[in-house]
């Protein structure tokens, strides 16, 4: 069970860390706008860095959002359910939907990411960031972190559900 707690804590720590990237994105965007419209200066690498940070926030904070149970829910009845039913929905949703989707993402992105690493793919722009392969690796990080968080949700939910019966 210590490993499961480690998964949860790691996702929370990474999520909190990368959520600070939002502040950096705002500052960079402000600097880009000031440089472009006041001084007629543009840096492609800065613009790409904002995109990279946005991708990192989105991809690496998804498991954090799931861990904090603050993700978007489609079910309008969920908030009115008892805790036992909420746990059941979370466990079934993780097993039937989240894990299979993440495994599909890993499977179908495999050659995409590997080819990018083989080529050490860089920006199409000469003065851009030449680390597209790192950006594409976030796809794997996203899927793996969500699968691990799902395992945590399933194990904790199962423990809570079966503890009442035994």
pLDDT at 66: 92
**Which residue is associated with the tokens 């499977």?**
107
For the segment 3-19, the average pLDDT, to the nearest whole number, is 90
**pLDDT tens figures, 110-166:** 999 999 999 999 988 889 899 999 999 999 999 999 999 999 999 999 888 887 554
Tell which residue, 64, 80, 102, 83, has the closest CA to residue 156: 83
**pLDDT tens figures, 21-48:** 999 999 999 999 999 999 999 899 999 9
Give the domain ranges of the chain. 2-163
Burial of 48 from C-beta contacts in 10 A (0-12 / 13-18 / 19+): buried
pLDDT at 65: 92
Q: How many C-beta neighbours within 10 Å does residue 28 have?
A: 17
pLDDT at 71: 78
Q: Report the 3 state secondary structure along 53-88.
A: HHHHHHHHCHHHHHHCCCCCCCCCCHHHCCHHHHHH
pLDDT at 81: 82
**Which residue is associated with the tokens 């790192």?**
134
Q: How far apart are CA 3 and CA 62, in angstroms?
A: 20
**pLDDT tens figures, 60-97:** 999 999 998 877 776 778 778 888 888 898 999 999 99
pLDDT at 25: 95
pLDDT at 56: 94
Is 1's pLDDT higher than 70? Answer: no
């Amino acid at each position: 069970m210590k490993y499961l707690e480690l998964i949860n804590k790691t996702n929370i720590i990474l999520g909190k860390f990368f959520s600070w990237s939002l502040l950096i994105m705002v500052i960079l965007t402000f600097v880009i706008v000031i440089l472009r419209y006041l001084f007629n200066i543009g840096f492609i690498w800065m613009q790409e860095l904002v995109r990279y940070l946005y991708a990192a926030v989105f991809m690496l904070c998804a498991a954090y959002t799931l861990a904090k149970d603050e993700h978007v829910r489609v079910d309008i009845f969920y908030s009115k359910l008892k805790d036992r039913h909420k746990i059941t929905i979370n466990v079934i949703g993780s097993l039937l939907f989240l894990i299979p989707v993440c495994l599909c993402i890993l499977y179908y992105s495999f050659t995409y990411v590997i080819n990018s690493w083989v080529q050490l793919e860089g920006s199409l722009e000469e003065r851009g960031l030449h680390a597209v392969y790192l950006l594409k690796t976030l796809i794997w990080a996203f899927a793996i972190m969500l699968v691990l968080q799902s395992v945590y949700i399933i194990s904790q939910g199962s423990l809570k559900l079966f503890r009442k019966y035994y």
